[in-house]
Amino acid sequence: MKYMVKVSDTDIDVLIDGDTVSVNGVTSVAHVNDVEGTPVRMVTIGDEVHRVVARRGPSRGSYTLWLDGFRFEVEALDERTRAIRELSGAAKGPTGPLPLIAPMPGMIVRVAVQVGDTVVPGQGLVVMEAMKMENELRATSAGTVKAVLAQAGTAVEKGAILLELE
């Protein structure tokens, strides 16, 4: 089975055929052994042994890997799934600035912008109180305020959209 693996911004071609693994054209013999009662797997590739823990990510093919104590965000898709995703445009995701979303439940204390305001990365947009602490929520990218959905004095749930940017 052939997989396209993306680690950070690096694309890696992986071909698995039984115990034989080819990574970007370099072929080795590989074995995987589970460590009983733990999520740890011992992966032997050629003469090297690695300790690996893998957790599924939020989308199909995404994983968080801990390899010998180092953390990596990885996407691993077989050829067919990757081709379908590219043809459908599903890999592109949304364009433009992301909306400001409440990271926790709390009370809106102050909204520092209005519709039409231009914001820059790092600019404070909303002050929110949670667990008796005020938290300033900042813009992650530049944009223009399209809609203000939060009002001072109102309670919001985690995940509520507070501002929309364009």
Asked if residue 93 is part of any domain, the answer here is: no
Write down the mean pLDDT value for the chain: 89
Asked if residue 95 is part of any domain, the answer here is: no
Same domain, 123 and 153: yes
Q: Residue 13: give its domain's CATH number.
A: 3.30.700.30
Longest C-alpha distance within the chain, in Å?
A: 62
DSSP for 1-31, please give it. -EEEEEETTEEEEEEEETTEEEETTEEEEEE
Nearest Cα to 60, choosing from 29, 44, 32, 82? 82
Please give the Cα distance from 117 to 143 (Å, whole number). 8
Same domain, 40 and 108: no
Q: How many CA atoms lie less than 13 Å away from 72 in the CB half-sphere? A: 18
Mean pLDDT of 121-146: 90
Q: Last residue of a domain, which of 64, 88, 112?
A: 88
Same domain, 19 and 51: yes
pLDDT digits (tens, 9 = 90+) for 53-74: 999 988 888 999 999 989 999 9
**Contact between 55 and 64 (Cβ < 8 Å):** yes
Which phi and psi angles does 48 have, rounded to 5°? -100, 140
Please give the Cα distance from 24 to 9 (Å, whole number). 15
Please give the Cα distance from 131 to 117 (Å, whole number). 30
pLDDT digits (tens, 9 = 90+) for 95-128: 668 889 999 999 999 999 999 999 998 899 999 9
Which helix or strand (DSSP H or E) is residue 84 part of? helix 79-88
Range of the domain at 50: 2-88
User: Residue 92's pLDDT is what?
Assistant: 56
